[in-house]
Structure 1
Amino acid sequence: MQLFADWHVHTSYSDGRATLEEMVAAAASCGLDEVAVTDHGPRAMFIGVREAGVYQELKEQAARLAEHYPVRVLVGAEANVISLSGEIDLPASIIKELDILAAGLHPQVWCLPWWQTVTWILPNRLGKAVGSIREKMREANTLALVAAVRQNPLTFISHPGLGMAVDLDEVARACAVTGCAMEINTGHHYVRDKVVLSALREGARLVVNSDAHVPGTVGKLDIGIKLLDKYRVPPEQVLNARPAPQKVESRLPVFTAIAGRMVSPPS
């Protein structure tokens, strides 16, 4: 199996540390066919884009860069789920202009309504130490993420289960119905196997991305490939995968030296 694209990278427009061109150059240098910049939505605390119009700026830059690099440059967003009812922090007018739409749960967002920041987001931090809170937050997180999958035209959900626990089987069922993929994120340390197993059980699609914040990690997807191989996930279940090319056996004649003469073996 080969992965031809990395659809989750960040630039200095959000919390990345490089320009769009630097990230595109990195994608080209590692042989990717496509790269998608997916900067954080504007309601991410301290790390989101300054406002939703930034994605239009990125589209203009991407169009210019595509003329100079041998890689298709897509512009997307990693939106934030900002309410228990599944709202995300991008307007429909921006969403329809994007090539890729991801959304995820993040423990540092300004919710709508604002008070859910206190009653939902903050308890996720406390819940890591208190079991009764942890289970309630897991239920709330699952409710919010499933609602986001059902209500928005998402390409994939980013790193499900990272930082904010969810019922992965329930999320996978929603993804299977809507066509939204579940991400295997190679840029964070968490139990990715559970994501793959839930997707396989429920028939959801997968996508492997780097979540790169610096050029050096763009296209670093080997962890994901090994995981797909481990569980024998077929390429058609992975959005950014294709079958590996078949090896072609050499048909050149084999020669043997006999009595000083070169002769081809009998057919």
Structure 2
Amino acid sequence: MEILADLHTHTIASGHAYSTLSENAASAAKKGIKLLGMTDHGPSMPGAPNLYYFGNYSIIPQKLFGVQILAGVEANITSHEGELDIPLRYLVNMDIVLVGLHVICYPGGNSEQNTQAYLKAMSNPYVDIMVHPGRPEFEMDLEKIAYTSAQLGVPIEINNSSLNPEKEGAWSNCQYFARCAAMYGGPIVLGSDAHFWDRVGKLELACELAGESGIKEEQILNCSPERILAYLELRRKNRGLA
């Protein structure tokens, strides 16, 4: 399986990442990545950029080192109602919007509350991809998430960073989610969640998990930049922005 896109990466602007956009793009080009998501953390994450940063995206080149750049955000869910830390007036101008739960940005809750927050964010028409549902910090109904993803057509990420050995408990959660995703057939994205340039395009663990869980190649958007761009265009059309 050839992976041609990495939609979840961070630059030094995120506050706890250590490379520039140019460094990430150069690394992507060397690895054959054709499409790169620049998805720095939303402003409720300590050290993350303020809203003005996200409002200045028009200056970013569409391509760097031959790699197409999708300027976006990894927005944070901030409530049990699935609210985000990026106002709508910024979301409408982004190429790609990723959304996930992070301990320091979200009040926490039980499985029902966490699942509700995740699903409500997923139903937001300005959200393109939901990320790292298998993180052990948040107990959730992963089968319900996989089912809803298939029903809504909103991709869920298998996060390579979550599968590193130091993330205790994440592999089994992600494995269970991946098996549910294979069963329901919803769209999947593999993301590096790179916080340093050498991690860009590093998706071996996510590929391994997807393969052993029975996820079909046609479910995985990363295999085709054209498929990703068509999906994002459809999202914009559905909310009247295209």
Runs (4+) of structure 1 exceeding 4 A deviation are none
Aligned to 2:198: 216
Q: Is the counterpart of residue 160 in structure 1 residue 138 in structure 2? A: no
SS of the aligned residue for 2:89 comes to helix
Structure 1 residues 62 and 16, CA gap change in structure 2 (3 angstroms) = farther
Distance 1:223 1:32 in 2: 17
- The alignment covers a number of residue pairs equal to 214
Q: How does 1:41-190 map to 2 (within 5 A)?
A: 41-44=42-45, 46-49=46-49, 51-63=50-62, 66=63, 68-109=64-105, 117=107, 121=108, 137-162=110-135, 163-189=137-163, 190=170
- Structure 2 gap segments, 5+ residues each: 164-169, 225-242
Q: How does 1:238-257 map to 2 (within 5 A)?
A: 238-242=220-224
Distance 1:20 1:172 in 2: 32
| TM-score, length basis structure 2 | 0.83
Contact 1:35 1:73 in 2 (8 A): yes
Distance 1:58 1:213 in 2: 20
- Structure 1 gap segments, 5+ residues each: 112-116, 125-136, 243-267
Distance 2:183 2:153 in 1: 15
| TM-score, length basis structure 1 | 0.75
Kindly state the Cα deviation for residue 42 of structure 1 after the two structures are TM-superposed. 0.7
Aligned to 2:26: 25
Kindly state the Cα deviation for residue 57 of structure 1 after the two structures are TM-superposed. 2.9
Contact 1:186 1:223 in 2 (8 A): yes
Contact 1:2 1:241 in 2 (8 A): yes
Distance 2:198 2:55 in 1: 26
Root-mean-square deviation over aligned CA pairs: 1.7
Kindly state the Cα deviation for residue 37 of structure 1 after the two structures are TM-superposed. 0.7
The one of 194, 209, 212 equivalent to 1:230 is 212
Higher helix share: 2
